[in-house]
């Protein structure tokens, strides 16, 4: 095990670290956005919005932890053989989740003004 690679960043521009921070910012934003869902949705849609809000916070927490694990894995791989594992799965899952979020918001608006 090469201890040097664990101490120094992959590149001087700290791209990998900045990407980890970007994931953390995004997970926080998703978690924060999930709370008003419960607050405002509960009047019109009751338990459904509580479930949706809890789901959002849970997913955001899981994603936050997964981002840290992924950072360590990618860092190890980049410093040993320079090949970067692709981000396609986390990116697709995040895009799908937020899209579902947005469609739920539109549904809420329709229910509220109907």
Instruction: Report the alpha-carbon distance of residue 31 to residue 24 in Å, rounded.
Output: 11
Residue from 52, 57, 59, 78 touching other proteins (CB under 8 A): that is 78
Q: Is 22 in the site for other proteins (CB under 8 A)?
A: yes
What is the CB neighbour count within 10 angstroms for residue 43? 9
Report the residue from 6, 65, 72, 112 that binds other proteins according to the rule CB under 8 A. Answer: 112
d(CA 16, CA 87): 12
Beta-carbon neighbour count of residue 57 at 10 Å? 18
Q: What angle do CA 1, 72, 14 make, to 5 degrees?
A: 105
Q: Tell me the two tokens of residue 112.
A: 């509220």
Determine which residue in the list 68, 72, 85, 111 makes contact with other proteins, applying CB under 8 A. 85
Cβ neighbours of residue 58 closer than 8 Å, sequence gap 6 or more: none
Count of residues of this chain found to bind other proteins when the rule CB under 8 A is applied:
41
33 belongs to the binding site for other proteins (CB under 8 A)? yes
Can residue 113 be called a binding residue for other proteins (CB under 8 A)?
yes
The single residue among 6, 11, 62, 72 that binds other proteins, judged by CB under 8 A, is 11
Write out the residues near other proteins by the rule CB under 8 A. Answer: 10-11, 13, 15-16, 18-19, 22-23, 25-26, 29-30, 33, 36-37, 40, 78, 82-89, 91-92, 94-95, 98-99, 101-103, 105-106, 108-109, 112-113
């Amino acid at each position: 095990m090469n201890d040097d690679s664990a101490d120094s960043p992959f590149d001087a521009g700290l791209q990998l670290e900045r990407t980890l921070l970007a994931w953390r910012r995004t997970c926080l934003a998703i978690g924060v956005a999930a709370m008003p869902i419960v607050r405002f949705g509960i009047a019109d849609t009751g338990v459904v919005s509580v479930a949706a809000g809890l789901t959002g916070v849970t997913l955001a927490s899981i994603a936050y932890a997964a981002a840290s694990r992924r950072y360590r894995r990618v860092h190890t791989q980049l410093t040993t053989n320079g090949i970067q594992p692709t981000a396609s799965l986390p990116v697709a899952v995040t895009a799908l989740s937020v899209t579902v979020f947005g469609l739920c918001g539109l549904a809420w608006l329709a229910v509220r003004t109907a």
